[in-house]
């Protein structure tokens, strides 16, 4: 009796369901472990550094030999270089995205441009850094500067911005465009006044991604901006050295002579993570609120 077709099938089905259960458990455990690990890491960085933070540390000048120095100029440079690079890359990156989404004909030329953009996105940051070094230190001859770092960093931002803009614009429904065109607007007016505002959410998310990446970039800064700063606060001179906070973290961790290097590194790492968290939250918050409001508005109608 045990060898009947019925028994055979039941056995196969039971074993299939059994493996299915195992698979469920396995995947869940792997995911849970991964996320616990991630949370533990964030907690380690923030927990070590944040309690020791003081306002003083954020704005004070660094000290080469004695304990108690701050990170003022490095933090300032980080934001300065970031903002400069965004100013340089936003118009071009968004322009390229608009071209790909709105104007690009479906031919070999467009294929080629797309390949170039993806290629640029995959260029290792160290190669960007070397490029910046050849360009600004060897050919232009201005040495390691803030402006050199910002321009090189802008190149890193460009392909991501172009891709994100393209995706955001493609997600805008066609009828809005047609309505605008039907009212007699030209294509450029339609794109600038109708499509771009509608795609703003997606573009903003993209910008926050880019900003986080540019803020944390260190290989480019070391090669094009240097590892130190001009040595005083609020130095807007574009030609002074452009060491940023991530570079300083590397420097402190590997070469610094100060006795409290470990503490400075802990605090710097915590600040880096904190700022990245803040950048991504401030950009996403309005979007979350929007979706929440939209949800609240639609729920009563459904019920």
Partner 1 sequence: MALPASEVRAQHEQQKKKQWSMKYMKNKLFRYVCLFSALFLGIALFSIVIFISQTGFLVFKDVSWKEFFFSATWEPYEGKYGAAVFIAGTLYLTFLTLLISTPIALAVAIFISEIAPNWLKNVMRPMLDLLVGIPSIVYGYLGLTVLLPFIREKTGALVGDGFLAAALVLTLMILPTITRISDDAICAVPNYLREAGYALGSTKLQVISRIVLPAARSGILTAIILGMTRAIGETMAVVMVIGNTAQFGWDLITPTSVLTSNIVMQIINVQFHSTWNYALYMMAFLLLFISLVLIVIIRKLRPKGE
Q: How far is the CB of 19 from partner 1 (least distance, A)?
A: 6
Judged by CB under 8 A, which of 50, 53, 58, 120 binds partner 1?
Answer: 120
CA separation for the pair 143, 238 (Å, rounded):
12
Asked if residue 216 binds partner 1 (CB under 8 A), the reply is yes
Nearest to residue 226, comparing CAs of 112, 73, 122?
73
Binding-residue pattern over the window 128 to 147 for partner 1, x denoting contact by CB under 8 A: xxxx-xxx-xx---------
Contact between 282 and partner 1 by CB under 8 A: the answer reads no
**Scanning residues 32 to 61, which ones bind partner 1 (CB under 8 A)?**
34-35, 38, 41, 44-45
Check residue 178 for interaction with partner 1 (CB under 8 A): no
Of residues 80 through 109, those in contact with partner 1 by CB under 8 A are 91-96, 98-100, 102-104
**In whole angstroms, how close is the CB of 197 to partner 1 at the nearest point?**
16
**Using the rule CB under 8 A, which residue among 43, 67, 83, 112 binds partner 1?**
112
What secondary structure does DSSP assign to 80-121, as a single string? HHHHHHHHHHHHHHHHHHHIIIII--SSHHHHHHHHHHHHHH
**Range list of H helices, the chain:** 5-49, 55-59, 72-98, 108-122, 125-132, 146-170, 174-182, 187-189, 196-198, 200-216, 219-224, 245-254, 261-302
CB 210 → partner 1: shortest distance, Å?
10
State which of positions 247-276 bind partner 1 (CB under 8 A). Answer: 247, 249-250, 253-254, 265, 269, 272-273, 276
CA distance 143 to 234: 21
Q: How far is the CB of 99 from partner 1 (least distance, A)?
A: 4
The binder of partner 1 chosen from 170, 201, 230, 280 (CB under 8 A): 280
CB of 116 to partner 1, least distance (A): 4
Is residue 294 involved in binding partner 1 (CB under 8 A)?
no
Judged by CB under 8 A, the stretch of 61-69, 196-204, 222-230, 232-240 that binds partner 1 is 222-230
What angle is formed at CA 258 by the lines to CA 222 and CA 51, rounded to 5 degrees?
90
User: Between the CA of residue 17 and those of 21, 29, 182, 204, 257, what are the distances in Å?
Assistant: 6, 18, 58, 45, 62
CA separation (Å) from 235 to 74, 189, 239? 11, 40, 10
């Amino acid at each position: 009796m045990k060898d009947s077709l019925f028994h055979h099938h039941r056995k196969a089905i039971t074993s299939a369901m059994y493996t299915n259960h195992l698979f469920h458990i396995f995947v869940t455990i792997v995911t849970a472990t991964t996320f616990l690990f991630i949370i533990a890491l964030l907690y380690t960085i923030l927990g070590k550094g944040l309690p020791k933070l003081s306002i003083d540390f954020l704005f004070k000048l660094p000290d080469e030999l004695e304990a108690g120095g701050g990170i003022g100029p490095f933090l300032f440079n980080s934001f300065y270089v970031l903002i400069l690079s965004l100013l340089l890359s936003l118009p071009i990156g968004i322009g390229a995205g608009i071209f790909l989404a709105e104007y690009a004909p479906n031919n070999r030329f467009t294929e080629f441009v797309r390949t170039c953009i993806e290629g640029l996105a995959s260029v290792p940051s160290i190669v960007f850094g070397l490029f910046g070094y050849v360009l600004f230190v060897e050919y232009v001859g201005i040495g390691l500067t803030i402006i050199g770092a910002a321009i090189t960093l802008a190149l890193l931002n460009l392909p991501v911005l172009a891709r994100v803009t393209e995706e955001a614009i493609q997600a805008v429904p066609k009828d809005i465009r047609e309505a605008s065109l039907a009212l007699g607007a030209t294509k450029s007016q339609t794109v600038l006044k109708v499509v771009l505002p509608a795609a703003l959410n997606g573009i903003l998310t993209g910008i926050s991604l880019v900003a986080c990446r540019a803020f944390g970039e260190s290989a480019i800064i070391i090669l094009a901006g240097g590892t130190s700063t001009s040595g005083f606060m609020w130095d807007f001179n574009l030609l002074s050295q452009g060491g940023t906070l991530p570079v300083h973290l590397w420097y402190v961790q590997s070469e610094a002579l100060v006795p409290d290097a470990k503490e400075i590194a802990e605090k710097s790492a915590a600040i880096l993570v904190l700022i990245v968290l803040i950048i991504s939250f401030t950009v996403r918050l309005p979007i979350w609120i929007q979706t929440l409001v939209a949800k609240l508005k639609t729920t009563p109608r459904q019920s």
